[in-house]
């Protein structure tokens, strides 16, 4: 009999975005998806946005509207397909931010040229093109994760998910090594 998996009680959630520079490259996109799975993430929900509207990009990045890179960022984000994912990691507290910190570590720092040397095995270190075209976005706090998840998944309630039958079933399947991935939809069941 193998080692016992801990009986986690919750799933720590974060929002992950895969940006147009990575989604238009099928081989690279598949590699990033594999990195996500290998890191142990449970993919709770996925939303493939074939082309994000400029208005939606402006609303999502509104907090950066006074920054010098804002126009470049929203133009880029509305230039192609964006894949939004709710990623989760098992935890014992509803206030656990492990999914956030693990996803941000997997993405790597925003400054791509520096990241290529300092953290080359991260998503941005491997696939990033520039500070704007850096392949991915991730929430930076529990509050931001909740807001960003609700932005891309308006029918998903992160607070209601905690303790729900859906969460318990995903945890059970994770513990018993029964999770399966739908490769087309990129979501666990």
Whether 31 is a known active-site residue: answer no
Is the CB of residue 106 less than 8 Å from the CB of residue 63? no
* CA distance linking residue 80 with residue 69, whole number of Å: 18
**Within a 10 A sphere around the Cβ of 117, how many other Cβ atoms?**
8
> How far, in Å, are 6, 13, 82, 152, 177 from residue 47 at the CA level?
30, 15, 8, 8, 25
Contact 188, 85 (CB under 8 A): no
E strand segments, 63-163? 82-91, 136-138
Token pair for residue 25?
């490259």
Say how far apart CA 123 and CA 3 lie, in whole Å.
31
- Selecting among 83, 85, 137, 174, the annotated active-site residue is 137
User: CB of 110 within 8 A of CB of 69?
Assistant: no
- Catalytic residue numbers read 137
């Amino acid at each position: 009999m193998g080692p016992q998996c801990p009986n986690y009680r919750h799933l720590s959630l974060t929002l992950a975005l895969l940006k147009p520079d990575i989604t238009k490259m099928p081989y690279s996109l598949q590699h990033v998806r594999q990195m996500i799975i290998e890191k142990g993430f449970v993919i709770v929900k996925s939303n493939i946005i074939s082309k994000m509207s400029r208005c939606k990009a402006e609303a999502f990045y509104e907090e950066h509207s006074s920054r010098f890179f804002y126009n470049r960022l929203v133009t880029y984000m509305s230039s192609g397909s964006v894949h939004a994912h709710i990623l989760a990691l098992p935890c014992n507290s509803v206030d656990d931010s492990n999914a956030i910190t693990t996803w941000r570590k997997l993405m790597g720092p925003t400054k791509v040229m520096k990241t290529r040397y300092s953290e080359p095995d991260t998503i941005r270190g491997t696939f990033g093109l520039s500070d704007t075209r850096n392949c991915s976005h991730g929430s930076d706090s529990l509050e931001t994760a909740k807001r960003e998840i609700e932005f891309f998944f308006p029918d998903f309630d992160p607070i209601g998910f905690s303790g729900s039958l859906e969460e318990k079933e995903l945890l059970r399947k994770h513990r018993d090594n029964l999770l399966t991935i739908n490769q087309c939809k990129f979501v666990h069941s």
